[in-house]
Amino acid sequence: MVKQGVVPDELTKPFWDAANQGRLEMQNCSACNRLQNPPLPACSQCKSGEHLEWKEMSGRGKIYNYGVVYDCPVKLLQQEQPFNLVVITLDDDPGIQMYSHLPGTPVDEVPVGAAVQVIFEDTANGQKVPEWRVVA
Amino acid sequence: MTTENAPASMYRTTEGLGVWEHKGKVAAVGIGHSPTTRRWDGTPENTMGANSIIALRRAIEDAGVSPDQIDGLVLDPVTTTGAHWPEGQPIPMDVVNAFNPTDDPLDGIAKLSAEWILKNMPELTNVKFTMYGLGCMSHAIVVAAQAVGEGRTHTCLVLKSWHNLEGRYNQSGISAADTVPGTFALSPGRTLWGAPGSYGTALQFAEYCRKYGKSHDMMAPFMANSRRNGLLFPEGYWAQHRPEQLTAEDYLNARWIAKPASLFDNDIPIMVSGAYLFTTAERAKDMKQKPVYILNHASSRGAQRSILPTLDEVEAETASTGRKIYEGAGITADDLSFENMYDGFSLFHQFHLEGLRYRGMQNGDALDFYQTDISIEGPNPVLPSGGNIGSGRSRFWMHTDCIQQIQGRAGARQITGVKPEIGVSGGPMPMGGNFTVWSASPG
Ligand SMILES: [Zn+2]
């Protein structure tokens, strides 16, 4: 499933650069020792942007929840309908979620709770994006 | 006159604030709605601005006040259902010429300022207070109630309008672009992964079903009840344009949008305007309609930790909202005659109900409750307005119904199994919204 291309912006550039190098990085507030996703200009706990850094993740997670998309607003994805749209939680911090199309898993056969591993896929403009696969 | 957004301080967002200082001192006395349509037909008579004027004039007439008595106007300036005016497309000249313009050519068509209303309703000669309640009718109601309570306006119009244009919901613009900005790609809403609007609610519902052993088909009685009530709402979209009951079979066979959310779990975007007239309890005594007193308003401003609110986060927020609603009104769940919490999307109504502890409900009970008598004739009415599911996405039918039920003006929808003394309406989302307690008596 090829997603729309991504043009990194100032806030998210480290995330996308890391993805191009095959690493999953998350924003972390070193003062609070707390990860956050999606990325924000300030820590959502201490409200300061001073101590935000990017931290490499293990790339391991669990399937928290999912839905099956039959009527997608994004034109490029409409030809793939229906498709799984899964929410992953990171093993590094189960409070942190990421979206996934869960490539390799048949539609509506998503094993909630199963272990997943990050992979990196090309988007339409070549920017890589983190995706997830069920660990066999 | 410049119009500001209401400051955050006008909303009662935390627990522990005690009884609302203006409890019972503000009343709703007039209601007005425009006709509904699915989309703008391109004529001046069917613009969102024209609908706004119709709704406001009807509310004024309904209250029986003269327009020069009105000194306040609160509205939501954002009117989109998800449809945006195509960039560069000219506005038809007959539309331009039909109204007194402001500096913004889209004003009255795809957005709405207080200035536009005042320019196009010359009878409003004494409006001295204007303010925006940004978001929904539920915001505008809070702001108007608080403003009347504080004495900043004494007779105040409250307005919410919607425009809907050609094209499918949220499918233009960035959804059709070849590339998206990095921040957008990672944002919780419409992202690179293509989540439809109802996806987040669908996932909370899925987690709810897994945790409590419930299923999507258990929603069918709620959906049929909502459509039935909606068809008894002559101001609503389904009653006006598609008077079809929704059977359990229709619901169970509907196509999925974001499974477990189906077509009918999504409210239909429409064009409509709704208006109320609020005044002080003192002045309300002399007006045409029976006053409906506001006992409290409360707001929730929940924030999830990451992309989507978890079931735990939702249930904590709605329980807190329930406590805020009762605390500020000085009532308990036992005092509610009925409820009109939001339902667009249908799959989150149970969170609002359980947060309220409506009829003693605990978390996980609502879908079983839906299998009992939840009709307007029974002792436990659920959403007698029919909500957005029953009448289209206005996000104000619930407020209108609370006022009409308590006034005894709900017509064929009038609840009969319980005396309508205190009702609650509000939303939209379980994680963020505004809620109002309406009452037949001031305290
Ligand atoms: Zn911090």
d(C-alpha B429, C-alpha B302), whole Å: 10
Q: Is the pTM of this model over 0.90?
A: yes
Residues of A in contact with B169 (CB under 8 A): 73
For ligand 1, the distance from its centroid to the CA atom of residue A38, given in whole angstroms, is 14
For ligand 1, the distance from its centroid to the CA atom of residue A29, given in whole angstroms, is 5
The yes-or-no verdict on residue B169 having pLDDT over 90 is: no
Domain ranges of chain B: 4-167+272-284
Find the CB nearest B192 among A66, A82, A129: A129
- Using CA atoms of B58, B59, B61, B67 in order, give the dihedral in degrees to the nearest 10: -110
CB contact (8 A) between residue B305 and residue A96? yes
Arithmetic mean of pLDDT, B294-313? 97
Give the residue ranges of chain A where pLDDT is below 70.
Answer: none
Least confident residue range of A94-98, A104-108, B185-189, B235-239 = B185-189
pLDDT of residue B170: 59
DSSP state letters, B127-189: --EEEE--SSHHHHHHHHHHHHHTTS-SEEEEEEEEB--SS-TT-SGGGG-SEEEHHHHHSSS
DSSP 3-state of A74: coil
Q: Does A132 touch chain B (CB under 8 A)?
A: no
pLDDT band at residue B179 using 50, 70 and 90 as cut-offs = very high
Architecture of domain B4-167+272-284: 3-Layer(aba) Sandwich (3.40)
Whether A85 contacts A101, CB under 8 Å = yes
pLDDT band at residue B425 using 50, 70 and 90 as cut-offs = very high
pLDDT of residue B171: 63
Give the helix/strand (H/E) hosting B63.
Answer: helix B48-63
pLDDT of residue B286: 85
Helix axes B199-212, B349-356, angle to 10 degrees: 60
CB contact (8 A) between residue A85 and residue B195? yes
Chosen from B168, B305, B311, B312 to mutate, greatest number of chain A CBs within 10 A: B305
What average pLDDT does the structure give for chain B? 96
The yes-or-no verdict on residue B348 having pLDDT over 80 is: yes
Q: Does A31 touch chain B (CB under 8 A)?
A: no
pLDDT of residue B86: 86
Residues 85-124 of chain A whose Cβ lies under 8 A from any Cβ of chain B: 85, 87, 95-101, 108, 112, 123-124
Residues of B in contact with A87 (CB under 8 A): 203, 307-308
Question: Distance (Å) from the C-alpha of residue A53 to the closest C-alpha of chain B?
Answer: 16
The yes-or-no verdict on residue B15 having pLDDT over 80 is: yes
Ligand 1 (ion): which residues have CB within 5 A? A 29, 31-32, 43, 45-46
Helices (H), B213-285: 220-231, 237-241, 248-252, 281-284
Q: Does A36 touch chain B (CB under 8 A)?
A: yes
CB contact (8 A) between residue A74 and residue B190? yes
Helix axes B311-329, B349-356, angle to 10 degrees: 50
Chosen from B168, B175, B178, B183 to mutate, greatest number of chain A CBs within 10 A: B183
Which chain B residue is nearest to residue A88, measuring alpha carbons?
B307
Q: What is the DSSP letter of B14?
A: S
Using CA atoms, how far residue B124 sits from B67, B144, B278, in Å, is 5, 17, 15
Arithmetic mean of pLDDT, B59-75? 98
The yes-or-no verdict on residue B57 having pLDDT over 90 is: yes
Arithmetic mean of pLDDT, B415-424? 98
d(C-alpha B250, C-alpha B221), whole Å: 12
For ligand 1, the distance from its centroid to the CA atom of residue A55, given in whole angstroms, is 14
Find the CB nearest B182 among A6, A64, A100: A6
Q: What is the DSSP letter of A126?
A: S
Question: Distance (Å) from the C-alpha of residue B148 to the closest C-alpha of chain A?
Answer: 34
Residue type, B171: Q
Arithmetic mean of pLDDT, B407-429? 97
Using CA atoms, how far residue B149 sits from A115, A132, B143, B326, B439, in Å, is 55, 54, 10, 19, 16
CB contact (8 A) between residue A7 and residue B196? no
Question: Distance (Å) from the C-alpha of residue B253 to the closest C-alpha of chain A?
Answer: 14
Which of B331, B328, B355 has its CA nearest to residue B17? B328
Residues of B in contact with A95 (CB under 8 A): 305-306
pLDDT of residue B82: 84
CB contact (8 A) between residue B182 and residue A5? no
Chain B residues in contact with chain A using a Cβ-Cβ cutoff of 8 Å: 169-171, 175-183, 185-188, 190-197, 199, 202-203, 206-207, 210, 255-261, 303, 305-308, 310
Arithmetic mean of pLDDT, B130-135? 97
The domains found in chain A, sorted by start residue, are 9-56 (no CATH), 58-136 (2.40.50)
Whether B257 contacts B198, CB under 8 Å = yes
pLDDT digits (tens, 9 = 90+) for B17-29: 999 999 999 999 9
pLDDT digits (tens, 9 = 90+) for A97-129: 999 999 999 999 999 999 999 999 999 999 999
Find the CB nearest A87 among B255, B258, B308: B308
